[in-house]
Each structure stands twice: as C-alpha cells, then as structure tokens.
Amino acid sequence: MKAPVAVALLVVALAAGCGAGGPGELAVTQTTLQPRAFTLVLRNGSDEVVRVAQAIVNDAFVDFFASARTIPPGDVEAFVVPYHWIRGENYEIRLMTSTGSTVDSEIDDAS
C-alpha cells in the first residue's frame, strides 16, 4: 500500500544560539506539535556528516518525513513525525542515525 502523501510547508524558527546542544553535539533544538504530527529540528554540531535512518516514538518505530535525511556538519534539518498524539500525555521521540546513535527529546503534557 502506498503511504499517504504528505505535503506540508513548514517555517521553522532557528534563532542563533537557541536550543540545546553545544559544539560537537547532535541535538534536537526544537520540538513542536501540530495536529497529528510532531516536528523536530535537528542540529548537527559535530564535524561529521550525519544521516538519520529511523524514528521512534514511545518505543515504537514510526514513519517520518524530511526534505533531506543527511545533515552536513553545522547544518540543521526538520523532521516531521506523523503521530496521533493525545492531549495531556507524555512522549519520548528518538531519531536514530545510520550508526545506531540516538538523539532524544521529550514532550511533557502534550497540548
């Protein structure tokens, strides 16, 4: 079965220096909720190219979308994770790279 076509245009704020992750780190700098989706912004603060291979929400592999899955050093990329989240519940969202490393972010009290 073909996956549902998901086309969206997102504008994501990336103020210089905001968010987590210092130099040398791969970090989620922003997480936002939309109806039936999470959006994560991943910053590659390392000196190596990073490729995101999988996404996990609350211990389950899930679909995700991005305009590019490979992130050069110093660059950022937004990842949209379609998910029918429940108001007031908590979520742990993980992005897994091609080396198996994971980058985590958590949402408390989704609203």
Binding site for another protein (CB under 8 A): 1-15, 19-21, 25-35, 39, 41, 51, 53-56, 59-69, 76-78, 80, 92-93, 96-111
Please choose, from the candidates 64, 58, 46, the residue with its C-alpha nearest in 3D space to the C-alpha of residue 101.
46
- Shortest spacing between CB 46 and another protein, in angstroms: 8
What does the block give as tokens for 32?
A: 């936002």
The residues pairing with 81 across neighbouring beta strands, listed in sequence order, are 38
- Shortest spacing between CB 73 and another protein, in angstroms: 14
- Shortest spacing between CB 101 and another protein, in angstroms: 5
Question: 């780190």: which residue's tokens?
Answer: 25
- Shortest spacing between CB 8 and another protein, in angstroms: 5
Which residue number, 47 or 60, has a Cβ lying nearer to another protein? Answer: 60
Phi, psi of 94, deg, nearest 5: -125, 140
Q: 68-78 burial, b if ≥16 CB within 10 A, otherwise e?
A: ebebeeeebbb
Which residue number, 25 or 49, has a Cβ lying nearer to another protein? Answer: 25
